Structure 1
Amino acid sequence: MAQNLMRAVQFSKYGGGVADLKHVEVPIPSPKKNEVLIKIEAASINPIDWKIQNGIARPFLPRKFPHIPGTDIAGEIVQVGAGVDKFKAGDKVVATLGNGGALAEFAVAHSDSTVPRPPEVSAADAAALLTAGLAAHQSLTKLAGLKLDGTDPPVNVLITAASGGVGTYAVQLAKLANAHVTATCGARNMDLVRSLGADEVLDYKTPEGKALKSPSDRKYDIIIHCTTNIPWSTFEANLTSKGKVVDTTPGFGTFMSVAVKKITFAKKQLLPLLTAVKQENMDYLVKLSQAGKLKSIIDSTHPLSKAEEAWAKSIDGHATGKIIVEP
């Protein structure tokens, strides 16, 4: 391989799925002003990555084809662009990429979307943390209004799909907020979810799980909804009078429901999450991981040469925690 080229995986059109992923050699990008070039040690795949391939953000993303997908990486800075004074070559970091580029050997990240990675946090754990961890954090704090320092009065929180990427972090963060956590997941993952701190765990395939009914007959102040196809009526029956449902994967129907509830002045709220990349949130999550207070659950690790396997596993939708790709 020529010195100025790198291995990468691209797709060339909307809707091509796994079959459209191609292994290529492309030029190593150069950092522009306020950017850093990172040698990637680990990247994680999020459902939004293949949803973008399916056209969910058409025509805005990707900005052009062919496109190298993925946004969450951890690695080592090898070059800094003009105006970057917070980082230097050799620094270990974790970063999120605004325009994709994670399924490669190198990527360019904005310095404001990059935070230091301490040696106690592995590359895989750090890469897993970003999109999913930010979604869990902002669902509980920005939308649900919880403090994660244990100073809030006790609240009852339900987390659906608690063994998935967002769910595994949401369980742990909710416990930091002094919450009683009820969680749903598949039967095979119930012990794992308990180990993350959930007080009650429901098999989502049972009648009780489908009804979201707390074993201790609690009503929920907050529901962090990390899956799809649960009707509002099911949530409403289990909420306190001013309960909130945070939808971490909002679609058109969610926004329509929000509009209707505003018109009718409903006290029970449906809140769509639009995750924001905030450096202070990223740094907070990494430091929690460093302190052993936030664990990344890794479903599987795949070499870049077999990125199609990781892509297909994510599309299948039954991963426990996060899927990692390593160059």
Structure 2
Amino acid sequence: MAGKVMHAVQFDGYGGGAAGLKHVEVPVPAPKKDEVLLKLEARSLNPVDWKIQKGMLRPLLPSKFPYIPASDIAGEVVEVGSGVKNFKAGDKVVAMLSHTTGGGLAEFAVAKESFTVNRPAEVSAAEAAGLLVAGLTAHQALTQAAGIKLDGSGKPTNILITAASGGVGHYAVQLAKLGNTHVTATCGARNIEFVKSLGADEVLDYKTPDGASLKSPSGRKYDAIIHCATGIPWSTFEPYLSEHGKVIDITPSPRAMFTFAVKKITFSKKQLVPLLLTAKRENLEFLVGLVKEGKLKTVVDSKHPLSKAEDAWAKSMDGHATGKVIVEP
């Protein structure tokens, strides 16, 4: 592929939203020793993508401008680096790119072999691309932070999942129900039946008084809260936590980090746990396997062509997507 150019979407600086994205022609990247070059069939967007553009993660991200955003990709291997052992041209895969360098909103991308996983024929490119940041975050929150055993062997656990119709939330509901859990979930009124269809036992409209208070309709105290929304203070959660209950916050604010520190210092039995994703290849393989077996599904909010990537960007920024926003060729 040396010397060839490809279509890509990038931004040159902070801010600008969807209007700040630029369609450009750039060279097709060459895979290094430990990388594979993929022709992309799907990418999924995550809030972190537009948060990088907004400058919310500066000075860490991005490493430099111009920057091609998106980390969650699925496609076909077209070339492999000299040290790659597990993949060959023609393999269908799903891969996660580093947020530092990005590269997903393009026709081709290079991915590290160490975070590339085979995609079985039963799993579509869109389904696989959705799994990465959102699915892995839900998996880590439940299994590591909340201690849920997804084979159903653990002790009965009451869980609350906020923003349960979104990217992380819709995976969290499905994964939680593989464990021995009772799931209460919050979402907007239009998505109540959808969240029930994912397996939630009780669903609250977050705009009603009961939904805003997060009180379980059946009066249960929560052993863990997977907090996928924003702007809810600790004082709202605390009355409904069990004695050793945890709030697992997937987008911790400075205020949340302060609460985390206070709870630690005072040896509080109730804890706030900030979650930063530690992506692991074996966890991605596990999730892909669940999709193949029909035990987990990626719900696609909308699909957009790369030529209209700004529409997908605006949809993600709006914050009301049901499931995942996907960009296809």
Question: TM-score, normalising length from structure 2?
Answer: 0.98
1:267-295 per-position Cα deviation (integer Å, ceiling 9, x unaligned): 10100110012100110000000000001
Measured in 1, the distance between the counterparts of 2:121 and 2:255 equals 43
Which residue in 1 is equivalent to 2:281?
279
Measured in 2, the distance between the counterparts of 1:292 and 1:19 equals 38
1:91-127 per-position Cα deviation (integer Å, ceiling 9, x unaligned): 0000000121111100000001110000000000000
- Which structure 1 segments of 5+ residues have no match? none
What does 1:45-194 correspond to in 2, within 5 Å? 45-98=45-98, 99-194=101-196
Shift of 1:231: 1.1
What does 1:187-226 correspond to in 2, within 5 Å? 187-226=189-228
- Aligned with 2:8: secondary structure? strand
Tell me if structure 1 keeps the 8 A contact 2:160–2:185. Answer: yes
- Aligned with 1:102: secondary structure? coil
1:60-106 per-position Cα deviation (integer Å, ceiling 9, x unaligned): 21111110000000000000002110111100000000121111100
Number of residues of Structure 1 aligned to a counterpart in Structure 2 = 326
Which residue in 2 is equivalent to 1:10?
10
**1:169 is aligned with what amino acid?**
Y
Shift of 1:153: 1.2
Measured in 2, the distance between the counterparts of 1:214 and 1:257 equals 23
Which residue in 1 is equivalent to 2:229?
227
Tell me if structure 1 keeps the 8 A contact 2:248–2:274. Answer: yes
Measured in 2, the distance between the counterparts of 1:273 and 1:321 equals 20
Measured in 1, the distance between the counterparts of 2:63 and 2:102 equals 10
1:18-57 per-position Cα deviation (integer Å, ceiling 9, x unaligned): 1210000000000001100000000000000000011122
**1:113 is aligned with what amino acid?**
F
Measured in 2, the distance between the counterparts of 1:251 and 1:168 equals 22
**1:63 is aligned with what amino acid?**
S
**1:12 is aligned with what amino acid?**
D
Measured in 1, the distance between the counterparts of 2:112 and 2:255 equals 33
Which residue in 2 is equivalent to 1:298?
300
Shift of 1:16: 2.2
Tell me if structure 1 keeps the 8 A contact 2:3–2:27. Answer: no
Which residue in 1 is equivalent to 2:260?
258
Measured in 1, the distance between the counterparts of 2:260 and 2:59 equals 25
**1:129 is aligned with what amino acid?**
L
Measured in 2, the distance between the counterparts of 1:258 and 1:187 equals 31
Question: TM-score, normalising length from structure 1?
Answer: 0.98
Measured in 2, the distance between the counterparts of 1:3 and 1:286 equals 34
Shift of 1:266: 0.7
Farther-moved stretch of structure 1 (56-65 vs 73-82): 56-65
* Moved beyond 6 Å, runs of 4+: none
- Aligned with 2:142: secondary structure? helix
Shift of 1:257: 1.1
Measured in 1, the distance between the counterparts of 2:28 and 2:264 equals 49
Identity %: 69
Which residue in 2 is equivalent to 1:289?
291
